[in-house]
């Protein structure tokens, strides 16, 4: 059953509280959409809604973290990372606080809300911060695992969650550790390295390409920072070509991280597929197709790379 990665947020926080963890959540007037409202309904004393004040959200979360709690923040990605970047940088990361920034509604799959709400730069903003770990889960099960991992690992985390339901990639018993990248489909001709919503599209593209005799490996690069260097280098060395795919700008995102790593550890041809502009209004499916990052777009780019 398809579920959005954001659906895992409130549910997992409840599970962490019930497991005995000292969990708090701070949101900025979007508790229903981010699903932190579920935590508030079950445990009212565990949720603080600061209103439309994202910088204050980070400040309150930081103060709570200094009391020894593990604190999660909500909001939409465009507000929860961009609007309060200075507070995340100077307060959370510089002090290494136990704050987990977990905004929802990232990327162009926000859909009709348009460019102002389609955050395409957040991975770049967060991965450059010293001490920040960046996770981009591919489905509901891996989102739950990413949130649990963040809760169990001291220090700052950024967990990127989305609005739209996604196909299942992993089973309910999925777990992960840092760093994490996983070969979800074996191949030999090209390695498609994807994160978030693009993992399912990459798998579908690989099936389409297989019918044409093209063997595409698919790697889920969930932990953009730190990268699973061993898995990424091994896949690149095996296939000889890499296509990175992300629902994010190609500048500073997962593709940039992979290209930087491979340029140092195992130089191969790397092609980055993502956005180079702001988004626009439309349905999630329309926008993924328009920007060439749905299954058909990925398959088309693979054909181009292999012909070059």
Positions annotated as catalytic residues are: 54
Contact 104, 77 (CB under 8 A): yes
HEC string of 132-179 equals CEEECCCCHHHHHHHHHHHHHCCCCEEECCCCCEECCCCCCCCCCCCC
Exposed, middle or buried: residue 304 (CB in 10 Å: 0-12, 13-18, 19+)? exposed
């Amino acid at each position: 059953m398809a579920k959005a990665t954001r659906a895992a947020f409130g549910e997992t926080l409840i599970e962490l509280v019930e497991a005995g963890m000292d969990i708090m959540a701070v949101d900025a007037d979007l508790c229903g959409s981010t699903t932190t409202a579920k935590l508030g309904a079950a445990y009212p004393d565990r949720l603080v809604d600061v209103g439309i004040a994202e910088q204050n959200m980070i400040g309150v979360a930081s103060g709570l973290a200094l009391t020894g709690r593990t604190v999660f923040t909500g909001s939409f990605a465009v507000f929860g990372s961009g609007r309060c970047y200075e507070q995340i940088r100077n307060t959370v990361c510089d002090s290494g606080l136990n704050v987990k920034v977990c905004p929802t509604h990232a990327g162009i799959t926000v859909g009709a809300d348009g460019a102002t709400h389609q955050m395409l730069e957040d991975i770049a903003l967060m991965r450059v911060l010293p001490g920040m770990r960046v996770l981009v889960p591919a489905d509901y099960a891996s989102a739950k695992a990413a949130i649990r991992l963040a809760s169990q690992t001291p220090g700052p985390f950024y967990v990127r969650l989305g609005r739209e339901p996604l196909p299942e990639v992993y089973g309910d018993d999925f777990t992960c550790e840092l760093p994490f990248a996983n070969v979800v489909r074996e191949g030999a001709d090209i390695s498609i390295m994807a994160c978030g919503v693009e993992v399912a599209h990459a798998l579908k593209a690989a099936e389409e390409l297989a019918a044409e005799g093209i063997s595409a490996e698919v790697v889920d690069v969930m932990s953009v920072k730190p990268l699973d260097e061993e898995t990424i280098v091994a896949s690149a060395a095996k296939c000889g070509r890499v296509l990175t795919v992300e629902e994010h700008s190609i500048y500073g995102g997962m593709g940039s991280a992979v290209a930087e790593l491979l340029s140092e550890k195992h130089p191969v041809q790397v092609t980055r597929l993502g956005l180079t502009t702001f988004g626009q209004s439309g349905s999630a499916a329309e926008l993924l197709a328009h920007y060439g990052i749905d299954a058909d777009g990925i398959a088309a780019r693979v054909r181009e790379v292999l012909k070059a």
